[in-house]
Amino acid sequence: MTRLIGNSLNHLLDIVVPRLCIACGTFTKGQTPFCPQCEAKIKLILPPYCPICGKPLPKGNQPHICGSCLQEIPFFDKARSVFYYQNSIREAIIKFKFAESLSLTDFWVKSILKHLNSFIEQISPDLICPVPLHITRLRQRGYNQSWLIAKKLGKNIGIKSRARVLMKRKVTLDQVGLSMAKRKLNVRNSFEVNPKEKVAKKCILLIDDVFTSGSTVNECARILKKSGAKRVYVITLARAISEI
């Protein structure tokens, strides 16, 4: 009965206040923020992928450590992403990040739980925290999109989440357009662990929106482990990578 009432209310809302696709802006119906055409363009990160950083590997390959991780082992223990950062997902993340489309938080968390729940169960984190924004950027934007996801994810799975485990101590350049070497240099020593937070001997799940080169989450993991964290795992909504 409760489900029937809920479905009726949703149907009524679709008539009175039609939903707009978050990616293209056309009218749509259903439980996702995308119209059928934009939803069809969404691509999930599926095996095979690197067991460390989660980079997708060509179909038909056995899972193996990718060249980047062989060349330089990351400070984080494992990283996983839900979607490819392209098409509809890219548009949705940009709007979530810069246009205050905060209602997308539910969709992101549901997607993480649907596709990465077994990973979360496997790593069994003690604490969930976001990649932080510098206070200047936080004041400009008004919110940290990664914290919105971390907080709701923690509530859903019953694991403590904390907003200020990590703090960003300096303003950095936008990573877009920088080479791998410059990305690493850009974020080097830009984070610190809040002295009021206890991370020693803990397994920490770090949340961010997009994994591009991995420089940012890797630097966060380095600082966490330097402060005594036992393990650091990473989940991002999407991964920016060329088509496999």
- Residue pair 180/215 in contact (Cβ under 8 Å)? The answer is yes
In this structure, the answer to whether residues 162 and 125 fall within a common structural domain is yes
Whether the ω angle into residue 48 lies within 30 degrees of 0, i.e. cis, is: yes
pLDDT class for 60, splitting at 50, 70, 90? confident
| pLDDT tens-place string over residues 71-118 | 999 999 999 999 999 999 999 999 999 888 899 999 999 999 999 999
Looking from the CA of 150 toward its CB, the CA atoms found within 13 Å total 29
In this structure, the answer to whether residues 112 and 65 fall within a common structural domain is yes
Looking at the predicted structure, is the pLDDT value of residue 5 above 50?
Answer: no
- Residue pair 74/111 in contact (Cβ under 8 Å)? The answer is no
In this structure, the answer to whether residues 159 and 65 fall within a common structural domain is yes
pLDDT at 16: 43
Count structural domains, the chain: 2
Give mean pLDDT, residues 58-70.
93
Residues 6+ apart with CB under 8 A from 138: 144
Residue 63 falls inside a structural domain:
yes
In this structure, the answer to whether residues 1 and 78 fall within a common structural domain is no
In this structure, the answer to whether residues 108 and 151 fall within a common structural domain is yes
Return the CA Rg of the chain.
Answer: 19
| pLDDT tens-place string over residues 120-162 | 999 999 999 999 999 998 999 999 999 999 999 999 999 999 9
Residue 244 falls inside a structural domain:
no
Tell me the residue range of the domain where 206 lies: 43-239
In this structure, the answer to whether residues 195 and 91 fall within a common structural domain is yes
As given in the structure block, the two tokens for residue 91 are 């548009």
pLDDT class for 242, splitting at 50, 70, 90? low
Q: What is the CATH number of the domain that holds 173?
A: 3.40.50.2020
In this structure, the answer to whether residues 15 and 99 fall within a common structural domain is no
| pLDDT tens-place string over residues 188-203 | 788 999 999 999 999 9
As given in the structure block, the two tokens for residue 195 are 């002295």
Furthest C-alpha separation in the chain? 58
- Residue pair 175/216 in contact (Cβ under 8 Å)? The answer is yes
